[in-house]
């Protein structure tokens, strides 16, 4: 019997591809390194979450049956791709499934940060609102503003479509020239020309702290930074300093460097809109992500190719995303 270990309960219908294939689905009782390493020793496949560290210690415990690790996420920085590939284990993610949903949230964060909606709601809920005033909670328009997209993948493009519907100009940068209108070769050039900067790059050694104090200083004082990618792409301490100092107007964050922890100075930073990593959190999208990961497992175990495969490891990225 083919056995698939699943680290957390998946949304209803998420495991349907495994059920249809007649696989035995085992829900792990725990998610720590010991439980993951144990499962690697007897399972044919692991279906994991972005919070599961599938590192060398887990993979080195793999038995001869383990052939695929499928991550229910678009990102894969929790997977040791090189070690998995060296052991003949295919790593998979869920490309293309959550693009529109994550772009929606990125746009919501941009709108909230530009219009100070979190500050306004917090003031109202805590009894601090004394009524309408002509200078109350003044923010900045999105219409007529410039969106700078860092990382021109499917999520960044989906965000651009939404921005254009709001009469925003869109520019972008990427690790390689796109040849498309709005391309900027320099990250600093994009930062200085944007009213909203939205990050859509994977977490790699090259993108760790891609946005730090020098980059924040290059932004407009009326600009906002949006991050729905991975937390460590931004230096949280530097961002907190920039918000408290008024270097930039605001920030909309859905991801953090040390989740579930958040830098304490971000919690009370002016202009900060903070959400608890809900970029893909809709019923339809989370279900589709689970089904995509499980479909990838079925394909790999059947010897078929799958667009979800991300091994062997990708080429190292340059410092310009």
Tokens for 121, please give them: 């709601």
Neighbour tally for 178: CB within 10 Å? 13
Report d(CA 114, CA 94) in Å as an integer: 31
260: cis peptide before it, omega within 30°?
yes
Q: Judging by beta carbons within 10 Å of its beta carbon (0-12, 13-18, 19+), is residue 1 exposed, middle or buried?
A: exposed
Cα end-to-end distance, the chain, whole Å = 44
Annotated catalytic, 259? yes
Q: Which of 65, 157, 208, 259 is catalytic?
A: 259
Q: Which of 65, 265, 277, 317 is catalytic?
A: 277
- Residues near 237 by beta carbon (within 8 Å), at least 6 away in sequence: 263, 265
Q: Which of 230, 263, 286, 291 is catalytic?
A: 230
Neighbour tally for 129: CB within 10 Å? 15
Q: Which helix (H) or strand (E) holds 236?
A: helix 236-245
49 near 271, Cβ under 8 Å? no
Neighbour tally for 305: CB within 10 Å? 9
Active site residues: 230, 259, 277
């Amino acid at each position: 019997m083919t056995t698939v270990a699943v680290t957390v309960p998946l949304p209803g219908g998420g495991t349907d591809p495994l059920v249809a294939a007649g696989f035995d689905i085992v829900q792990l009782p725990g998610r720590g390194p010991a439980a993951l390493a144990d499962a690697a020793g007897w399972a044919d496949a692991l279906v994991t979450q972005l919070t599961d560290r599938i590192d060398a210690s887990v993979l080195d415990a793999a038995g001869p049956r383990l052939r695929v690790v499928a991550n229910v996420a678009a990102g894969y920085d929790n997977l040791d791709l090189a070690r998995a590939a060296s052991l003949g284990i295919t790593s998979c993610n869920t490309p293309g499934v959550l693009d529109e949903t994550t772009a929606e949230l990125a746009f919501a964060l941009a709108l909230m940060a530009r219009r100070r909606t979190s500050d306004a709601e917090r003031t109202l809920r805590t009894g601090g609102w004394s009524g309408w005033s002509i200078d109350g909670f003044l923010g900045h328009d999105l219409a007529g503003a410039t969106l700078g997209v860092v990382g021109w993948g499917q999520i960044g493009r989906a965000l651009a479509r939404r921005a254009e519907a709001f009469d925003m100009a869109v520019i972008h940068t990427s690790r390689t020239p796109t040849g498309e209108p709005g391309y900027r070769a320099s990250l600093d050039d994009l930062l200085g020309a944007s009213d909203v900067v939205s990050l859509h790059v994977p977490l790699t050694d090259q993108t760790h702290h891609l946005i730090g104090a020098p980059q924040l200083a290059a932004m407009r004082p009326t600009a906002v930074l949006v991050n729905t990618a991975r937390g460590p792409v931004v230096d949280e301490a530097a961002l907190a300093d920039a918000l408290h100092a008024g270097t930039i107007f605001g920030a909309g964050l859905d991801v953090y460097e040390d989740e579930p922890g958040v830098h304490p100075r971000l919690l009370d930073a002016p202009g900060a809109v903070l959400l608890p990593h809900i970029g893909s959190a809709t019923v339809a999208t989370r279900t589709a992500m689970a089904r995509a990961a499980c479909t990838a497992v079925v394909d790999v175990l059947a010897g078929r190719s799958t667009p979800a495969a991300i091994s062997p490891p990708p080429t190292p990225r340059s410092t310009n995303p």
